[in-house]
Amino acid sequence: MTMQKLDLGTDHIVGVVDGHIATLTFNRPEKRNAFGPELLNGLSKGLQLTAENDAVRVVVLTGEGSVFCAGGDLAGMGDNATDLAMSDKVEGLRAMQDATTLAIHQHPKPIIASLPGLAAGAGMGLALACDLRIGAAGAGFVPAFGAIAASGDFGGSWLLSRLIGPARAKEVYFTGRRIETAEAADLGLLNRVVPVEDLAQATQEMAAVIANQAPIALRAMKDNHNRAMVSDLQTTMAGEAAHMMHCFTTEDHKDAVKAFYEKRTPVFHGR
């Protein structure tokens, strides 16, 4: 397969598909990858395109330079549609959150956040919405909302509470303290920590392992685990049963069973 560049309508985020791996890169290093509507719209489009592309089996979300994402661009916050009614402002933010954080969480393919450095504010929410996180030494998380007299958005409170527990999450938000690399790894916020010079290669290696798995099964696994976060055991197992029986009907499953007996590695085609 040849590398394909995605048209995201902006240079604030760059999207490429290489084989079965898509990479979406925040591309405002001079602004610490802080975002405005242009970058978020590009991210939303990138998530849609990769969800619809059958060749894509795993997505990497990362940032150019030494920061993953510093959150919203403060330079534009004070001018944010001040003439609109409050209800319209709320609805606008809700729509953008749904098109980004929720779209990452509900994306049918696994998404890996590759953090060259800090994920702050709403950028932390985007990173936490990903399924896996690999960070360079020096990567960390900070809500940063209290410093600007704000309460938080882009799902950070929900995601952090479920990842590290509500008491720890409240402490981080109330105090505004930074979760440094070692603590992030201990808390499970980072699946792996590598030297900064090894981040790109380590991310691609992790993505390649996932991309070699059966796409239909991966999609079902992600749905199972998302449901497990909000459902009781019986409801979760009911969903698992439905997905399991569907997986058994796929060509990939049948070939994998055959490969097991023939002592060879199966090759999955998403059928």
13-18 and 21-26 beta bridge pairing: antiparallel
> Are both 18 and 110 inside the same structural domain?
yes
pLDDT of 83: 77
Q: Looking at residues 53-82, what average pLDDT do you find?
A: 86
> Are both 47 and 141 inside the same structural domain?
yes
Q: How many CA atoms lie within 13 A of 136 on its CB side?
A: 21
**DSSP conformational letter for 140:** E
Question: Would you say residue 146 lies in a domain?
Answer: yes
Tokens describing residue 127: 């990173």
Identify the sign of the CA torsion 121, 126, 131, 132. negative
Q: Which of 57, 46, 43, 62 is nearest to 108 (CA)?
A: 57
Please, what is the average pLDDT of the chain?
A: 94
Structural domain count, the chain: 2
pLDDT of 77: 62
> Are both 11 and 71 inside the same structural domain?
yes
- Helix (H) / strand (E) containing 21: strand 21-26
The 10 Å Cβ neighbour count of residue 185 is: 17
Q: Considering only residues 79 and 189, tell me which one the structure prediction assigns the higher pLDDT.
A: 189
Q: Looking at residues 126-151, what average pLDDT do you find?
A: 95
108-to-216, 234, 254 alpha-carbon distances in Å = 9, 23, 22
4 pLDDT exceeds 90?
yes
81 pLDDT exceeds 80?
no
Are the C-beta atoms of 200 and 188 separated by less than 8 Å? Answer: no
Question: Would you say residue 113 lies in a domain?
Answer: yes
Q: Which residues touch 260 (CB under 8 Å, ≥6 apart)?
A: 266
The 10 Å Cβ neighbour count of residue 140 is: 21
Identify the sign of the CA torsion 238, 240, 243, 245. negative
> Are both 24 and 132 inside the same structural domain?
yes
> Are both 161 and 35 inside the same structural domain?
yes
220 pLDDT exceeds 80?
yes
- Which CATH number covers residue 149? 3.90.226.10
d(CA 227, CA 229): 5
Question: Would you say residue 121 lies in a domain?
Answer: yes
> Are both 30 and 135 inside the same structural domain?
yes
Question: Would you say residue 270 lies in a domain?
Answer: no
Provide the domain limits for residue 250.
215-262
d(CA 271, CA 191): 30
> Are both 90 and 128 inside the same structural domain?
yes
When pLDDT is cut at 50, 70 and 90, the band that residue 64 belongs to is very high
The 10 Å Cβ neighbour count of residue 153 is: 18
- Which CATH number covers residue 234? 1.10.12.10
Q: How many CA atoms lie within 13 A of 90 on its CB side?
A: 3
231 pLDDT exceeds 80?
yes
> Are both 254 and 157 inside the same structural domain?
no
Q: Which residues touch 237 (CB under 8 Å, ≥6 apart)?
A: none
> Are both 155 and 37 inside the same structural domain?
yes
Q: Looking at residues 54-79, what average pLDDT do you find?
A: 89
> Are both 131 and 12 inside the same structural domain?
yes
> Are both 8 and 132 inside the same structural domain?
yes
Amino acid at 211: A
217 pLDDT exceeds 90?
yes
Helix (H, G, I), strand (E, B) or coil at 129: helix
